[in-house]
Structure 1
Amino acid sequence: MQPLAEKSQVHSRRSTARSGPSVKWFLLFWILIIGLGVYAVYSYTNHLKQQVLSELSLQSQQQLTVLKSDYEARIAVLSSEVKELQNTVQSFNELLTFTKDNASAKTDNSNKLYTQLSEVRKQLDALKKEMDLIK
């Protein structure tokens, strides 16, 4: 008969031999699952990154379009104001010329017209500066 110590060694060798390949397959399976999980997370992160970038690009394009239309509207308004002021300056010039030709003792009216003309020119210069700043 075999002693008790020898039986347990033979039994443990058999269980090690039986569990050896199954443990390897089990570990290989888990390593494979973990690798697939890491790859899925990486792929999903890249997908989200591309999606956020495309949304940001679309939003920035929309904002640029709004800014461009606003800029063009402001330029149009300022251009019309400048044209109106130029017409006003021209009419003041004509009036001033007429007043100079007909002036005798009415120098006070002439001075008032010069003052008004000077103010209109200042406003015209200010508008031109604003247009230059916008451009």
Structure 2
Amino acid sequence: MNSSLEPNAESIAARRASKKAGGSALWFLLFWIVMIGIGVVATYLYSNHMKQQMISQIQTSTNQQIAEMKADYSAQLKSMSEEMNTLKSKVDTFNELLTFTKDNASSKTDNSNKLYTQLNDVKQKLDALQKKMDLLK
């Protein structure tokens, strides 16, 4: 005596099974959405960590290269300064010798021309060295 208005046992069992299956599918889908979200967040955090690590390494490398360049620059500047002082002392010596030969020169000797030539050569070298030092500064 089943009337069409009363639900039978089979239809009730089918509804319960479909509700359970629908609930399981919902929980499964929710689980995967959460897992994907966790994966995206983990990837973002890891990429930020790697970026910071690379920046730190590059900064360390750059600071080391700058220190090496400063040391090299200082060594070159010191070397040129010493060379300039040496040339300056040579110029002073030549000036003294030139003054002495001028005072003692006679018409027979042509030593003063040689000294002027040497003095001009030394002055040219000194000027070139001065230009190099100015460029380094």
TM-score under structure 2 length normalisation: 0.89
Q: Give the share of equivalent positions with the same residue, in percent.
A: 53
Q: Given the alignment of the two structures, is residue 114 of structure 1 paired with residue 116 of structure 2, yes or no?
A: yes
Q: Tell me, in whole angstroms, the C-alpha distance in 1 between the residues paired with 2:42 and 2:102.
A: 88
Q: Which has the higher helix share?
A: 1
> Relative CO higher for 1 or 2, CA cutoff 8 Å, sep ≥ 6?
1
Match of 2:83 among 81, 84, 88: 81
Q: Tell me, in whole angstroms, the C-alpha distance in 2 between the residues paired with 1:28 and 1:88.
A: 90
Query: Residue 105 of structure 2 aligns with which residue?
Result: 103
Q: Given the alignment of the two structures, is residue 56 of structure 1 paired with residue 58 of structure 2, yes or no?
A: yes
Q: Alignment RMSD, CA only? A: 1.8
Q: Deviations over 1:24-51 (max 9, x none)?
A: 1111111001000010010000000000
Q: How does 1:119-130 map to 2 (within 5 A)?
A: 119-130=121-132
Structure 2: tracts of 5 or more residues without a match: 3-7
- Equivalent residue of 2:107, what SS? coil
Q: Tell me, in whole angstroms, the C-alpha distance in 2 between the residues paired with 1:32 and 1:64.
A: 48
Structure 1 stretches of 4+ moved >4 Å: 6-12
| Count of matched residue pairs | 132
